[in-house]
Amino acid sequence: MRFDFRCLIPVALLTVALGAHAAADNEYAYAYPLQTQAKGEAYRLVLTPSVYAHVLGSAELRDLVVVNALGREVSFAPMPEAPPQVHPYELKTRLLPVPGGSDAAAGVRVQRNSNGDIVIEQPPANVAKSQPMQWLIDARKAVAINHIELLLPETLGDMRLSVEVKASNDLQTWSELSDSTTLTRSARGDDAVDQRTIAIEGGPARYYRLTLLDGKAPWSVGQEPEVTLTGSFSDAAAERYASLQWLPLQAAVTVKSAAGGTDYDYRLPGALPVEAVRAVMAEANTAARFSVSANSGDNASWSPLGTLTAVRVQSDAAGGDVARFDTHRATTLRLHTDTPLSQSPSLQVGWHPDTFVFLAEGPAPYRLLAGSYAARRADYPVDAVLQRLRATQSDDWQPPAASLGEPVDAAGIAALNAPKVPYDWTRPLLWVVLVAGAAMVAAMAFSLLRRGSKGDGSKEDTTAP
């Protein structure tokens, strides 16, 4: 009977797979099974608070890897942020004349109020109303304008103007958007011409200025025409705020501050990337102003983040403002107030979970390994792969989502601790050698002294009378 060695191949492969699992698992504390419902070449993974609780803050999320069914690491990296959505924009507004044709020559001040609206101030001495040579347009928000169309009534008759357009976000610094553009309207039968649109190119800006280079405006002062602005805009800050996840927290520690007032500390499940906080008062008809600070957990220092005011009137618990700031990874947040409160406020924390992407290398199922004192993820050029995939899909294509299952122990919490350093026997061994050497030297000296004493005694006996 011959033995078929081919039957050992599955066993050998299983042994290799288990060995690979063990090699990876022994370096990480926890393992999360990943569910990939849709079939894809890459998957998107959004971290949960549980993951942040199981990694080392000092590792900055580099103690996260994804392995396949063979226990081998796959390409895994933070997913590049998608560009903000672009929205079409159209606004009908009126030209705002700058008196005197030149605001500097006429002593005219052009500035913004608290809402950003244009305010034009003219000294009382300049009462004469000369024909303006410049007009301002307020687009109401930062907009990339493509066209400016003058809406002229038929009664204004023919015109031929040469104008240029500049843009600004502060009414102080202006950038040129177009060269000289000729606007013409002539109603002469078959030769009628009607060109009242200015095509421009440039980045987003809120304010636009039309300057008359040649010709005479057919409208009088106070009868400026309307214009239609056409373009597009994107509001990355508003989109990011709208997509915040809000985590409610109760105060874990309440202490009197040494500098006066009260500190309320709120513990997060891990080093979450926090971007906004909102305090909610516990009792009706209360108000307080708070300063917000954060601790990352790796030291005892606190970083100031901003201030906010919380108000609650009767049953309205959502009053007050929201403190927004740059992303800060914090394990503890602190509210400080000088206002005495009978109950600690609750805290709503706005944060954006980190999103990663991994490639479907090797067989499924895949697992996320989290938390390690020594192991760190390598750098993978996943963004280049995404660009290739989007080339065959669309610019806004996103990899299908993979969801996290419940974590299980891999190497356990021991993987988060520094390995025990083996006892260094070099120093005690050196002391033993030194002591033994010293003892040998002492013994040799003592032996020589004894021999010397015996020699001296025998000589005295032979010379005695």
Cis check: omega of the bond before 49, within 30 degrees of 0: no
CA 117 vs. chain centroid, Å, equals 31
pLDDT tens digits for range 109-119 = 888 888 888 88
In this structure, what token pair is assigned to residue 294? 């954060």
pTM for the full predicted model: 0.71
CB < 8 Å & 24+ apart, contacts of 382-390: 382/42, 382/75, 382/76, 382/77, 382/79, 382/357, 382/358, 383/77, 383/80, 385/42, 385/75, 385/359, 386/42, 386/79, 386/80, 386/357, 389/41, 389/42
Q: CATH classification of 245-351 is 2.60.120.260, yes or no?
A: yes
Q: Give yes or no for residue 264 having a pLDDT over 90.
A: yes
CA distance 395 to 167: 29
For 70, phi then psi, to 5°, come to -90, 0
Per-residue pLDDT tens over the stretch 7-57: 443 433 334 344 444 447 789 999 999 999 888 899 999 999 999 999 998
Residue 464 pLDDT grade (very low, low, confident, very high; cuts 50, 70, 90): very low
The angle subtended at Cα 255 by Cα 340 and Cα 335, nearest 5°, is: 70
Beta bridge partners of residue 207, listed in sequence order: 138, 168
> For tokens 């992407």, what's the residue?
357
Q: What is the mean pLDDT of residues 353-365?
A: 95
Regarding the domain delimited by 87-233, which CATH topology (the fold level of the hierarchy) does it fall under? Jelly Rolls (2.60.120)
pLDDT exceeds 70 at position 465: no
pLDDT at 406: 95
Average of pLDDT values for 182-190?
A: 77
Angstrom distance (rounded) from CA 331 to CA 52: 10
Q: How far is CA 129 from CA 97, 105, 122, 124, 388, in A?
A: 11, 14, 11, 12, 62
pLDDT at 129 over 80: no
Q: Give the long-range contacts of residues 254-260, CB within 8 A, separation 24 or more.
A: 254/344, 257/336, 260/338
* Other residues' Cβ atoms within 10 Å of the Cβ of residue 452: 9
Predicted confidence band at 367 (pLDDT cuts at 50, 70, 90)? very high
Q: What span, in angstroms and rounded, lies between the C-alpha atoms of 290 and 369?
A: 39
Q: How far is CA 384 from CA 43, 65, 79, 360, in A?
A: 15, 19, 11, 15
Q: Does this chain's domain 87-233 share its CATH topology with 245-351? A: yes
Q: What is the 3-state secondary structure (H, E, C) of 24-48?
A: HHCCCCEEEEEECCCCCCEEEEECC
Lowest mean pLDDT among 169-173, 187-191, 435-439: 187-191
Specify the DSSP class assigned to residue 316. B
**Which sequence spans correspond to the domains of the chain?**
16-74+363-416, 87-233, 245-351
Residue type, 156: L
Token pair in block for residue 140: 């109401």
